[in-house]
Amino acid sequence: MSRVYLLVEGQTEEAFVNELLTSHYARLGLYLVPIIVSTSPGHRGGVVRYAKVRPQIEKLCKQDARAHVTTLFDLYALPVDFPGKSLSVYPASAKGQDKARFLEAALGQDIGQKNFIPHLLVHEFEALLFAQIDAFAQWTDDDQALEPLRAISSKTLPEDINDSPHTAPSKRILAAMPDYQKSFHGPLIACDIGLDAIRAVCPHFDSWLRAIEALA
């Protein structure tokens, strides 16, 4: 069984991998191992500075050349020292998928390891949950509160929901459901939606999964 290490931002992404991705890829002969990025001694979670993350990616790539390494980081709010972000040719006004592909290419070039698959979520984990808004219903007593989420998802693909501090997917969810707790509700809602439904409306995410599946 081939091993794939996933360096993830936090507990939410770790649970998402364990609960939704692991069994799917095990059937393909791929063993997925999520690892939460370290920010400082004794602290884990969040990509605060790329300088903190780079050594961790390199270490994973080099410690097991037969395994593959990939990332599950949010495109939203990446640090300014992330590869490609400060370049004059960075397509800051482009669609999220275009920005992600640009930064992924820069990240891959910076790491320079053949067993590394760079990946960024567009724009953040919560975007995946917009694949099926009805999955939120069991977590709220006010179904009408979900109407703003239904309205945006009816006309915009999840990965095209913009990433401003006020209208990013997570901010929209919190506005509709103030009790939303990312690490608790997020993975559960994703599991209720299902991997196939998420992939059907999140092409960038789907292309990443296809790249992993190609390792089988």
Using the 8-state DSSP alphabet, how is residue 37 labeled? P
Q: Which CATH number fits domain 2-123+197-213: 3.40.50, 1.10.357, 2.40.50, 2.60.40?
A: 3.40.50
Specify the pLDDT at position 43: 58
Specify the pLDDT at position 174: 95
pTM, rounded to two decimals? 0.94
User: Within 10 A of 106 (CB to CB), how many other CB atoms are there?
Assistant: 17
pLDDT in tens, 79-133: 999 999 999 999 989 999 999 999 999 999 999 999 999 999 999 999 999 999 9
Q: Are 85 and 104 in contact (CB under 8 A)?
A: no
Torsion of CA 145, 146, 150, 151, to 10 degrees: 20
In the chain, residues under CATH classification 3.40.50 are: 2-123+197-213
Residue 41, pLDDT above cutoff 80: no
Helix 147-155 with 169-176: angle, nearest 10 deg: 150
